[in-house]
């Protein structure tokens, strides 16, 4: 029986892989993102991070050359090494913040839709609050109060970005819980937790997944914004932190394009790849859009 | 002791515009291995009677009186937690639309096993093995446990629903229109299957339907319901050969006869009464061609007109003699 199960699973994965391959949008997004993930994971093996140490005064703000492919910053550090170590921090924050955001959004969305009445009202007013509150000032205040460490940044982004997900998940839960199979499970005597986790969650999952990818893009952008404003973790420089230092040292007016362009381009590429994947996955997973 | 005895069951719905007596003073019983058909027009209280037995009424509905005795235990007095022990272990349901009653993103094996795990102290693995056995019982190959509902046809989904009802070896199965939305051939297969299983396990079976034609073959007894009351109850053959209540007569008359004249059936004049403003007297009187003053004034008593044949009609003597 298990072999059948595994065979089915293998076939499903293969099928999914082939639809990703044939969907150009998904393919481009996946390739770009995989590239950055690989770079982030194997970063230190590609370029020794010792080049992150402060360099000699004569190495300051060098244009790209043979020794430093992307030039150096105002403290004589290699930009490429900075970029690779920044990829780690940016992606880590992006993924973990997304995880928190999806967790909260799904939990609140499903409980709100499933229980209804007072619980729904309380949870949705809370969601409305997070939905309408200007998120940037809120994040800044939170980050300033909690202090600058990447764990705080992750927490702050996660806690401020779940409202949209909660709304969407609630709407879908309202529709799923009225379906007859839920009634059947109730008559079987399953408890609320069982129904929510075993019956409703799998039914709203495609929605959550498509949302996750888009939230991840937003999380990385938020992180860049916070760091650029100087609320990032100074000990673990992300791309946003690089932009912050570049701005502070007047790289733009000094015409040191090699300092501020690479982190900016990287952020745009990662966010774009997430967005591409998000739309493409929606297309692949939603049978309504399936081309025959 | 009978397997199931329902005595003077009263289930009312409290809705904003008043109280609806969906099931009013209904009594019937069911023995081991016996099958009972509940027939009537839409909204006459068939489903509500069934849901009252397992206490799965919508929140507006409440049992206001009567007894539901399952092997002597009065289910009407139990609270939800206590009822949980009887549901599925003793009484299970086959739901109306199999297409909608299965979770589209769960394997059917998991769904059948779910029913077992929730009621018996077994591991998921044992439950899956049991689910496989049951699937073979409903004449489907065991390896289909790993399939999702969309990979089945309508008839097969209905078989899965029956398998699910059988999951905990119940004593009674209630089929709430288990064959609606299925074509005639599949309908026959499903009913034969239920018939076979019922005899094999000596289970009681309550079939709820508005299709009289399938009842004679499958049911030992038939109860005709009208506006929340049972107007006539008898053994199937007796009911078809010697219907007494005018409503039963009309209902049987609505089904075409194989050897009869080819013409459209006349149907029954009028519509069932508004459940919020029930007429005084016999509920069928406004539509009944034999109705006289007494019919409009007082509610008829249920009388035994033959062996195990009960009718609630003032004119029962005339009806029998008139035939």
Return the SS3 of A234: coil
Provide the number of structural domains found in chain A: 1
What does the block give as tokens for A46?
């590609």
pLDDT score for A104: 94
- Determine, yes or no, domain membership for A222: yes
pLDDT band at B320 (very low <50, low <70, confident <90, very high): confident
CA–CA min distance A204, chain B (Å): 10
CA–CA min distance A205, chain B (Å): 10
Contact at CB, B106 and A185, closer than 8 angstroms: no
| Residue A252 lies in domain | 22-43+69-289
Chain B hits for A5, Cβ within 8 Å: 146
CA–CA min distance A194, chain B (Å): 10
> Where exactly are the structural domains of chain B?
4-90+170-322, 100-169
Q: What is the pLDDT of residues A175-193, one digit of tens each?
A: 888 888 888 888 887 788 8
CATH classification of the domain holding A119: 1.10.3720.10
Nearest to A180 among B88, B100, B128 (CB): B100
Return the SS3 of A223: helix
Look up the ipTM and state it.
Answer: 0.70
- Determine, yes or no, domain membership for A13: no
Helical (H) or strand (E) element with B64: strand B61-70
What does the block give as tokens for A32?
């770009």
Q: What is the pLDDT of residues A15-56, one digit of tens each?
A: 777 777 777 888 888 899 899 899 888 877 766 655 566 666
CA–CA min distance A4, chain B (Å): 7
Q: Does B276 touch chain A (CB under 8 A)?
A: no
What does the block give as tokens for A21?
């391959």
Residue in B with minimal Cα distance to A190: B118
* Helix ranges restricted to H, chain B: 46-54, 80-86, 98-101, 108-119, 124-137, 154-166, 184-201, 215-218, 236-241, 246-253, 293-297, 316-322
Nearest to B87 among A5, A187, A194 (CB): A187
Contact status, residue A198 vs residue A215, Cβ threshold 8 Å: no
pLDDT band at B104 (very low <50, low <70, confident <90, very high): confident
Q: What is the pLDDT of residues A148-184, one digit of tens each?
A: 788 888 888 898 889 989 999 999 999 888 888 888 8
Q: Who contacts A274 (Cβ-Cβ below 8 Å, separation ≥6)?
A: A29, A33, A213, A214, A216, A217, A220
Contact status, residue A124 vs residue A210, Cβ threshold 8 Å: no
- Determine, yes or no, domain membership for A9: no
Q: Does B145 touch chain A (CB under 8 A)?
A: yes
Helical (H) or strand (E) element with B216: helix B215-218
CA–CA min distance A179, chain B (Å): 7
Residue in A with minimal Cα distance to B94: A184
Percent of all residues in chain B with a pLDDT value above 90, rounded to a whole number: 2
- Determine, yes or no, domain membership for A6: no
Mean pLDDT of chain A: 82
- Determine, yes or no, domain membership for A17: no
> Is the Cα torsion angle A89, A91, A93, A99 positive or negative in sign?
negative
* Helix ranges restricted to H, A47-134: 79-115, 117-132
pLDDT score for A121: 93
Contact status, residue A139 vs residue A202, Cβ threshold 8 Å: no
pLDDT score for A146: 85
Angle between helices A163-177 and A117-132 (to 10 degrees): 150
Q: Which residue has the tokens 């939603």?
A: A286
Cα–Cα distance, A220 to A230 (Å, whole number): 15
What does the block give as tokens for A282?
């929606």
Q: In what order do the strands lie in the sheet with B4-15?
A: B18-30, B4-15, B61-70, B73-74
**B309 beta partners:** B306
Contact at CB, B115 and A188, closer than 8 angstroms: yes
- Determine, yes or no, domain membership for A1: no
- Determine, yes or no, domain membership for A130: yes
Mean pLDDT of chain B: 84
As a whole number, mean pLDDT of residues A191-211 equals 86
Q: Does B95 touch chain A (CB under 8 A)?
A: yes
Contact at CB, A188 and B128, closer than 8 angstroms: no
pLDDT band at A292 (very low <50, low <70, confident <90, very high): very low
Return the SS3 of B220: coil
> Is the Cα torsion angle A164, A166, A168, A171 positive or negative in sign?
negative
- Determine, yes or no, domain membership for A59: no
- Say which CATH topology domain B4-90+170-322 has: Rossmann fold (3.40.50)
Q: What is the pLDDT of residues B32-84, one digit of tens each?
A: 888 999 988 888 888 888 888 888 888 888 888 888 888 888 888 888 888 88
């Amino acid at each position: 029986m298990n072999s059948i199960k595994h065979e089915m699973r293998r076939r499903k994965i293969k099928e999914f892989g082939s639809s990703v391959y044939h969907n150009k949008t998904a393919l481009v997004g996946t390739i770009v993102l995989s590239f950055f993930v690989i770079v982030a994971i194997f970063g230190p093996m590609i370029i020794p991070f010792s080049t992150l140490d402060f360099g000699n005064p004569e190495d300051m703000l060098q244009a790209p050359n043979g020794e430093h492919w992307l030039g150096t910053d105002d403290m004589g550090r290699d930009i490429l090494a900075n970029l690779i170590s920044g990829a780690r921090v940016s992606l880590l924050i992006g993924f973990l913040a997304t995880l928190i955001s999806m967790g909260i959004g799904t939990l609140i969305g499903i409980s709100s839709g499933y229980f209804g009445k007072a619980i729904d009202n309380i949870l949705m007013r809370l969601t409305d609050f997070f939905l309408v509150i200007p998120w940037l000032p809120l994040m800044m205040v939170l980050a300033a109060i909690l202090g600058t460490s990447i764990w705080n940044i992750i927490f702050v982004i996660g806690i401020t970005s779940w409202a949209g997900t909660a709304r969407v998940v609630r709407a879908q839960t309202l529709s799923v819980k009225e379906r007859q199979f839920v009634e059947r499970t109730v008559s079987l005597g399953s408890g609320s937790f069982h129904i929510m986790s075993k019956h409703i969650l799998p039914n709203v999952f495609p929605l959550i997944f498509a949302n996750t990818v888009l939230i991840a893009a937003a999380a990385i952008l938020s992180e860049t914004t916070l760091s650029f404003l100087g609320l990032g973790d100074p000990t673990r420089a992300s791309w946003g932190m690089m932009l912050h230092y570049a701005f502070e040292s007047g790289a733009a007016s000094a015409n040191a394009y090699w300092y501020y362009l690479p982190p900016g381009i990287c952020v745009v590429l990662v966010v774009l790849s997430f967005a591409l994947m998000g739309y493409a996955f929606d297309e692949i997973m939603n049978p309504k859009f399936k081309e025959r | 002791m009978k397997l199931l005895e329902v005595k003077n069951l009263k289930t009312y719905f409290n809705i904003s515009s008043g109280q609806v007596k969906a099931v009013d003073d209904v009594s019937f019983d069911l023995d081991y291995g016996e099958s009972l058909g509940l027939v009537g027009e839409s909204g006459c209280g068939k489903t509500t009677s069934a849901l009252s037995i397992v206490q799965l009424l919508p929140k507006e509905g409440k049992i206001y009186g009567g007894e539901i005795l399952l092997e002597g235990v009065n289910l009407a007095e139990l609270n939800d937690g206590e009822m949980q022990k009887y549901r599925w272990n003793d009484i299970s349901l086959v739901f109306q639309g199999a297409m909608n009653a299965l979770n589209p993103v769960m394997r059917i094996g998991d769904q059948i096993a779910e029913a077992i795990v929730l009621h018996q102290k077994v591991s998921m693995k044992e439950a899956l093995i049991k689910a496989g056995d049951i699937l073979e019982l409903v004449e489907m190959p065991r390896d289909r446990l790993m399939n999702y509902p969309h990979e089945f046809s309508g008839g097969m989904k209905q078989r899965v629903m029956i398998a699910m009802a059988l999951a905990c070896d119940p004593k009674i199965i209630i089929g709430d229109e288990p064959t609606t939305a299925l074509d005639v051939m599949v309908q026959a297969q499903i009913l034969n299957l239920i018939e076979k299983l019922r005899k094999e396990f000596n289970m009681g079976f309550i079939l709820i339907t508005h299709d009289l034609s399938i009842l004679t073959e499958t049911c030992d007894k038939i109860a005709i319901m009208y506006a929340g009351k049972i107007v006539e109850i008898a053994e199937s053959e007796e009911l078809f050969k010697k219907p007494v209540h005018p409503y039963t007569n009309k209902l049987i008359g609505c089904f075409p006869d194989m050897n009869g004249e080819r013409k459209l059936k006349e149907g029954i004049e009028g519509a069932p009464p508004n459940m919020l403003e029930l007429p005084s007297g016999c509920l069928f009187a406004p539509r009944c061609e034999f109705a006289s003053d007494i019919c409009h004034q007082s509610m008829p008593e249920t009388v035994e007109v033959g062996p195990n044949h009960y009718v609630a009609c003032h004119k029962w003597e005339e009806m029998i003699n008139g035939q």
